[in-house]
């Protein structure tokens, strides 16, 4: 959208799931998407390339161009996806959505027009998705901390951030595994990082969300391990944070051991977005046994201050309870 185009006046209420990848955001998104009044969109940050340009598969299984939901969103937001200047979106992203720009975005009392223009593309998608789905809340699990800082400046977005954290050692181990991307028919794999690289990213992204909270954006931090331990209680808290009130019946799809998931329309993200049916809710603690001790020590040392702040024991047995986390 060019600057001289009329801005939408309708405000979209957005739950933005933030954190580093492999922290459980896809499962949190899918479970949230089963609640009445919530529409889960997947990782909208990738929509411009993977969906509009590459026509990858939606979470419903159809190609993006053939998905009825996304067709309607495109019509409402841009009079059709063909009217989106993807090159312009990419140019704006490369200019404003960078981790190195977060301190400037956080300090600013005003921002350049290109920041607001980039944010406006997302605002139009969110508003259209809310209208098409009839849901007052949409969920974007893009995770990127820089994008969240950009969205702070979107006039048509009521931004509420759910900061999802998971033990950095479990995250680092997950980033070393080979995972195929089903939307490419298994021909491509998801990105892999070394434990040292993922530890640095874990620190940077999580600290950035703490900074966002100190700039007036509503931020609620959840620990993935606690979400899995008591999903119903955590869902009630998240719904309250989003301005929704749940009944007992609204939570009938989830129990302490599993959740029943329907078909969703996640635009991009973890392969789990294609899962339909009963999903077991259990902690993935394979890293405790499989991660080399040298890598565990490295990640624990690099991420130690934030691990302690979030209540993770650095050397306690896995079964030990979490300590009370300090406020960011």
- Please give the pLDDT value at position 1: 40
C-alpha closest to that of 207 among 145, 148, 152? 145
**Contact partners, residue 95, CB within 8 Å, separation at least 6:** 114, 118
pLDDT higher for 8 or 318?
318
**Structure letter (DSSP) for residue 18:** E
State the average pLDDT over residues 47-52.
97
**Structure letter (DSSP) for residue 65:** G
Tell me how far apart the alpha carbons of residues 321 and 273 are, in angstroms, rounded to a whole number: 30
Judge whether residue 321 has pLDDT over 70: no
- Please give the pLDDT value at position 182: 63
Angle value at C-alpha 121, between 76 and 72, nearest 5 degrees: 20
Asked if residue 156 lies in contact with residue 34, where contact means CB atoms within 8 angstroms, the answer is no
Q: List own/partner pairs for 252-258 with CB under 8 A and 24 or more apart.
A: 253/34, 254/31, 254/34, 254/281, 256/229, 256/230, 256/231, 256/232, 256/281, 257/281, 257/282
Using one digit for the tens of pLDDT, what is the confidence trace for 94-116?
Answer: 999 998 999 999 998 899 999 99
Tell me how far apart the alpha carbons of residues 207 and 122 are, in angstroms, rounded to a whole number: 23
Low-confidence winner among 12-21, 187-196, 282-291 (lowest mean pLDDT): 187-196
State the average pLDDT over residues 189-198.
88
For 195-264, the DSSP string reads HHHHHHHHHHHHHHHHHHHTTT--EEEEEHHHHHHSHHHHHHHHHHHTT----TGGGTTB-SSEEEE---
pTM for this entry: 0.90
What domains are defined for the chain?
A: 12-309 (3.40.50.300)
**pLDDT tier, 3 (very low <50, low <70, confident <90, very high otherwise):** very low
φ and ψ at residue 69, rounded to 5 degrees:
-60, -50
- Enter the tokens of residue 328: 């960011």
State the average pLDDT over residues 187-191.
72
Using one digit for the tens of pLDDT, what is the confidence trace for 145-185?
Answer: 999 999 999 989 999 999 999 999 999 999 998 776 665 55
Burial 13-29 (b: 16+ CB within 10 A, else e): bbbbbbbbbbbbbbbbb
Judge whether residue 84 has pLDDT over 50: yes
Strand stretches in the chain, DSSP E: 12-18, 38-40, 137-143, 157-165, 219-223, 258-261, 277-280
- Please give the pLDDT value at position 273: 93
**Structure letter (DSSP) for residue 135:** -
Judge whether residue 190 has pLDDT over 80: no
State the average pLDDT over residues 82-95.
97
Asked if residue 26 lies in contact with residue 272, where contact means CB atoms within 8 angstroms, the answer is yes
**pLDDT tier, 311 (very low <50, low <70, confident <90, very high otherwise):** very high
Judge whether residue 323 has pLDDT over 70: no
Judge whether residue 277 has pLDDT over 90: yes
State the average pLDDT over residues 131-145.
97
Judge whether residue 6 has pLDDT over 50: no
Place of tokens 């704006």: 92
Distances, alpha carbon 147 to alpha carbons 144, 221, 324, in Å: 5, 17, 29
Tell me how far apart the alpha carbons of residues 171 and 21 are, in angstroms, rounded to a whole number: 8
Partners of 63 in the beta sheet? 57
**pLDDT tier, 270 (very low <50, low <70, confident <90, very high otherwise):** confident
């Amino acid at each position: 959208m060019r600057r001289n185009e009329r801005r939408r006046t309708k405000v979209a209420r957005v739950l933005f799931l933030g954190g580093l990848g492999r922290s459980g955001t896809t499962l949190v998104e899918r479970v949230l998407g089963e609640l009445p009044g919530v529409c889960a969109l997947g990782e909208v940050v990738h929509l411009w390339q993977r969906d509009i340009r590459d026509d990858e598969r939606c979470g419903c299984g159809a190609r993006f161009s053939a998905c009825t939901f996304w067709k309607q969103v495109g019509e409402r937001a841009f009079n059709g996806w063909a009217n989106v200047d993807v090159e312009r979106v990419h140019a704006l992203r490369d200019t404003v959505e960078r981790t190195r720009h977060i301190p400037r975005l956080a300090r600013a009392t005003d921002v350049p027009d290109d920041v607001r223009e980039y944010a406006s593309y997302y605002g139009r998608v969110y508003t259209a998705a809310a209208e098409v789905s009839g849901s007052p809340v949409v969920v974007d699990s893009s995770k990127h901390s820089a994008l969240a800082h950009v969205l702070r400046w979107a006039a048509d977005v009521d931004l509420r951030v759910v900061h999802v954290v998971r033990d950095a050692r479990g995250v680092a181990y997950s980033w070393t595994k080979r995972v195929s991307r089903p939307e490419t028919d298994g021909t491509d794999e998801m990105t892999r990082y070394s434990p040292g690289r993922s530890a640095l990213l874990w620190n940077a992204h999580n600290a950035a969300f703490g900074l966002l909270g100190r700039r007036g954006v509503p931020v609620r931090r959840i620990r993935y391990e606690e979400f899995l331990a008591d999903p119903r209680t955590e869902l009630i808290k998240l719904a309250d944070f989003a301005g929704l009130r749940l009944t007992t019946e609204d939570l009938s799809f989830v129990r302490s051991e599993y959740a029943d998931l329907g078909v969703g329309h996640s635009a991009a993200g973890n392969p789990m977005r294609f899962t339909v049916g009963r999903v077991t809710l259990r902690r993935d603690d394979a890293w405790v046994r499989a991660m080399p001790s040298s890598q565990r020590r490295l990640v624990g040392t690099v991420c130690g201050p934030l691990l302690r702040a979030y209540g993770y024991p650095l050397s306690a047995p896995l079964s030990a309870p979490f300590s009370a986390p300090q406020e960011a």
